Amino acid sequence: MEQQKRYGHFDDQHREYVITDPQTPWPWINYLGNEDFFSLISNTAGGYSFYKDAKFRRITRYRYNNVPMDNGGRYFYVKDGETVWNPGWKPCKTPLDFYECRHGMSYTRITGRKNEVEASVLFFVPLKKWAEVQKLTLTNQSKETKQLKLFSFEEWCLWNAATDMENFQRNFSTGEVEIEGSTIYHKTEYRERRNHYAFYHVNAPIQGFDTDRETFVGLYNEFANPDAVMEGKPRNSHAHGWSPIASHYIEATLAPGESKDFVFLLGYIENEQDKKFSAPQVINKEKAHALIAELDTTEKVDKAFAELNEYWDALLNIYNVRTGNDKLDRMVNIWNQYQCMVTFNFSRSASFFESGVGRGMGFRDSNQDLVGFVHQIPPRARQRIIDIASTQFPDGGCYHQYQPLTKRGNNDIGGGFNDDPCWLIFGTVAYIKETGDFSILDEMVPFDNQPGSEVTLFEHLKISMDHVIKNLGPHMLPLIGRADWNDCLNLNCFSWDPNESFQTTENVSEGTKAESLMIAGLFVVTGKDYVALCKQIGKNDEAERMQQAVDAMVEAVKKHGWDGEWYLRAYDFYGRKIGSNECEEAKIFIESQGWCTMAEIGAEEGMVAKSLDSCKKYLECEHGMVLNNPAFTKYIYEYGEISSYPEGYKENAGIFCHNNPWVIIGECIAGRGNDAWSHYAKILPSYVEEKYQTLHKVEPYVNCQMVAGKDAFRPGEGKNSWLTGTAAWMWYTVSEFILGIKPDYDGIRIDPCLPETATDYTVSRKFREADYEITIHPNGSQKGVKQITLDGQPIQGTVIPYSAGKHIVEVTM
């Protein structure tokens, strides 16, 4: 094993990851903003901002997959004599005397030092504000007076990020700006249908500016050597068409030891139709002035930053564990929860692997994300459930994705993914268990957002279950439709045309026998949840009806879904087995092992234990469990996209981190704590961070969607970081199944599953109006609670009955 270079380390006390070398193996990014205004920011200040929707309201421009990598961002150029440098090293790449990037909870601080001048920039989006603050502190650490020239830089995106990249015949003529004092306004298309504009402001007088990119940079230069900066002279250019930018020019004289703050503000404003203009063609800037006034001093900015930190203190105080294992504690208490918030906000729309134009909010994705987030801000989870359910069709099917700005289903992708409906139950049940708020079931929710079509949310859940029951195949197993969780298992697609997308091309559904064991397991798990929910609300007949369907599904799986050593994965269009020992390749798949073991199908007959053993035997490798084994080595027309990937990557035998937790939960339910832990630690970022920073490539503080599997060219290499259901599943697994603190309708159920080596640990858990301090004494046991005391009194069973206030709980295993 080659010695792995390290690029940074955790700073748990500050809840930060500290990057000490700007040349990370891939840009290591962070997210700013919590609700409406968002930014992506890399460790060299690359990235972009948008309002609500990365496609329709892109504020600044970014170039994906460019040369050099990570091109475009908020750049500060410091010209000190003949030396030009950036605090984040890029784009000039002038070697720095010191560099550090601290990614924290919704903020990033980048500090660079060169020739005894330090520039430190704090980036964050204040709570409830539509703006990114960039507080730049310049310090002269030398013994001489420094006369510095400072240039800021942002490049505007012409709002729609997709057409911004393609419709140049129009775009090069539409760009418009206004300049007023130290503020540069971007108002492309404001003259017509847009009621929004953006601005870039600094709270100091400026000695010049630029708004036209070619004038500032020079047509044949790069961001690394813009003409204006190199010469130390702004051009005061006024953009008309082409590519509008915003650059302030400031001359700063700093005495020895002196420090100066400059607050830059990138803001977004929406105006009412009748208040768009203050004079013909002049934007009404009232709201911009007001926003600027709220953030135009260091004191105001520091206060807003303190509020942001308090917000995160509160969020991360809801669930906090002390196990004595730093690597576990930092993931549970900080980074896993943080990533859950980010995936809740973005689904799979905007990362450094998701361009922000392709995908909106996924139906299944968002329901899963919610499970990782619901304990943090339940009212937002509630709204999300309603939004998601509103994209459902009357037959229980649903749009696979919707756009966050419009909340309308995405017609390009359409529907037909037959696992989708079940996830609505998964999300809703998690919400009710966390909050005790059954009233959500009575909310009136439309179909496909059509006014007048409203039925209760409960009705949506019912038709979701029914959608599965009404779409069973010849073995009485669920028909797969376009695909199930595995978007790439396209059993009804049959494509030889490289110009068509596996995901959107017309599927053959007539005569199909393609059934999914993954949906079967998912149906049993969510069906049991649904039955329990019905009983809670007194719908006993409905509970009985669904129990029968669940029982029937269990029987169908036992009869037609078991291969001898593991569960089958599916049946293809013609009714042939997939994921069977009889198959030439891909004999075993992870998804059905995960879901059928979670559902405990055939536990008495030994199926669960055998399936879990098979995962260890055939799927596990050094970096986690692969999706299928052996990998496909050739394209199979009947299977679709899954077999299109080279061996070991993505859905073809990659380690899809998302589904490792399914098996881990299966292990926990089966009481096999040692195995659960060893699978979990393999994909826990803090363990990977210690060993594999170079190999892993992507951010070591969050999970990525996929790590190259054992059959890949470079096993262990990570891809698609940040936006993955892995975040929520890792959270669900560790918080509820390993550490064993499970919200339930009537209280908190305690049911840990631990490695034998686990020592005593304490979880502080806020739950509704209660505060629990729960200490678990494992006593070398992997599973099984012997005794619980609540405030000193022994209780019956394993559910701590809910009551408001502070409580001390002791658990003996």
Q: φ and ψ at 779, to 5 degrees?
A: 50, 40
268 binds ligand BGC (CB under 6 A): no
Residue 39 in the binding site for ligand BGC (CB under 6 A): no
Burial track 540-555 (b if 16+ CB lie within 10 A, e otherwise) = eebbebbbebbeebbe
Instruction: Name the nearest CA neighbour of 570 among 485, 687, 670.
Output: 485
385/389 Cα distance (integer angstroms) = 6
User: Interface with ligand BGC by CB under 6 A: which range of 167-175, 177-185, 483-491, 614-622?
Assistant: 483-491
Helix (H, G, I), strand (E, B) or coil at 461: helix
CA dist., res. 584 & res. 401, Å (int) = 35
- Stretch touching ligand BGC by CB under 6 A, among 47-55, 230-238, 482-490, 527-535: 482-490
Asked if 354 touches ligand BGC (CB under 6 A), the answer is: no
| Part of the chain binding ligand BGC (CB under 6 A), chosen from 141-149, 220-228, 357-365, 466-474 | 357-365
Q: Which residue has the tokens 């709201």?
A: 287
Amino acid sitting at position 149: K
Distance CA 750, CA 679 (A): 22
Closest separation in Å from C-beta 640 to ligand BGC: 11
Q: How far apart are CB 518 and ligand BGC at their closest, in Å?
A: 10
Interaction between residue 32 and ligand BGC (CB under 6 A) = no
Residue 362 in the binding site for ligand BGC (CB under 6 A): yes
- Measured torsion, CA atoms of residues 574, 575, 577, 583, in degrees rounded to the nearest 10: -30
Q: Interaction with ligand BGC in 519-538: which residues (CB under 6 A)?
A: none
Residues whose CB is less than 8 angstroms from the CB of residue 35 and which lie 6 or more positions away in sequence, other chains included? 128, 345
- Cα 640 to chain centroid distance, Å, stands at 26
Identify whether the C-beta of residue 324 lies closer than 8 Å to the C-beta of residue 761.
yes
Which has the closest alpha carbon to 240: 327, 333, 172?
172
Stretch that binds ligand BGC, among 12-20, 362-370, 445-453, 504-512 (CB under 6 A): 362-370
- Min dist CB 656 to ligand BGC, Å, is 6
372 belongs to the binding site for ligand BGC (CB under 6 A): no
Tokens 């998601």 belong to 388
Residues in a beta bridge with 262: 136
Residue nearer to ligand BGC on the CB measure, 482 or 539: 482
3-state secondary structure of 296: coil
The residue number whose beta carbon is nearest to ligand BGC equals 487
744 is written with which tokens? 């339930």
> How many residues form the binding site for ligand BGC (CB under 6 A)?
9
Residue (of 746, 694, 795, 690) closest to 326 by Cα position: 690
154 binds ligand BGC (CB under 6 A): no
Least distance to ligand BGC, CB of residue 370, Å:
14
Query: What is the DSSP pairing of strand 196-202 with strand 259-270?
Result: antiparallel
Cβ 403 vs Cβ 388: under 8 Å:
no
* Identity of the residue, 365 or 736, whose beta carbon is nearer to ligand BGC in the bound complex: 365
Catalytic sites, residue numbers: 487
DSSP state of 596: H
The correct pick among 134, 390, 486, 733 for binding ligand BGC (CB under 6 A) is 486
Query: Which of 87, 100, 96 is CA-nearest to residue 18?
Result: 100
> Should residue 569 be labelled a site residue for ligand BGC when binding is judged by CB under 6 A?
no
Token reading at 8: 């940074």
Question: Site for ligand BGC (CB under 6 A): which residue of 262, 485, 562, 737?
Answer: 485
Piece of the chain touching ligand BGC by CB under 6 A; list 126-134, 210-218, 273-281, 480-488: 480-488
Which listed residue (70, 118, 132, 487) binds ligand BGC by CB under 6 A? 487
Question: Which residues touch 584 (CB under 8 Å, ≥6 apart)?
Answer: none
Cβ–Cβ under 8 Å, residues 141 and 151:
no
Candidate list 210, 369, 651, 744; residue touching ligand BGC; CB under 6 A: 651
Among the residue ranges 258-266, 358-366, 607-615, 737-745, the one whose residues contact ligand BGC (CB under 6 A): 358-366
Nearest CB to ligand BGC, comparing residues 27 and 362: 362
Cβ 480 to ligand BGC shortest distance, Å: 13
Residue 482 interacts with ligand BGC (CB under 6 A)? Answer: no
Q: By CB under 6 A, what part of segment 697-736 binds ligand BGC?
A: none
Structure tokens at 376: 């943090």
CB under 6 A: which stretch of 81-89, 361-369, 530-538, 575-583 binds ligand BGC? 361-369
Element (H, E) at 372: helix 363-373
Does 348 bind ligand BGC (CB under 6 A)? Our answer is: yes
Site for ligand BGC contains 365 (CB under 6 A): yes
Q: Is the Cβ of residue 719 or residue 766 nearer to ligand BGC in the bound state?
A: 719
CB of 167 vs ligand BGC, minimal distance in Å: 28
Q: Is 404 in the site for ligand BGC (CB under 6 A)?
A: no
Q: Interface with ligand BGC includes 364 (CB under 6 A)?
A: yes
Q: Is 666 exposed, middle or buried (0-12, 13-18, 19+ CB in 10 A)?
A: buried
Distance in angstroms between the alpha carbons of the first and the last residue of the chain: 40
Our finding on whether 488 is near ligand BGC (CB under 6 A) is: yes
- What are residue 450's DSSP bridge partners? none
**Residue with Cβ nearer ligand BGC (206 or 723):** 723
Number of other residues whose CB lies within 10 A of the CB of residue 449? 17
When asked if residue 586 is in the footprint of ligand BGC (CB under 6 A), the reply is: no
Site for ligand BGC in 502-521 (CB under 6 A): none
80 is a site residue for ligand BGC (CB under 6 A): no
Residue 266 or 728 with smaller CB distance to ligand BGC: 728
Tokens of residue 116, six digits: 């005894």
The residues that touch ligand BGC, with contacts defined as CB under 6 A, are 348, 362, 364-365, 485-488, 651
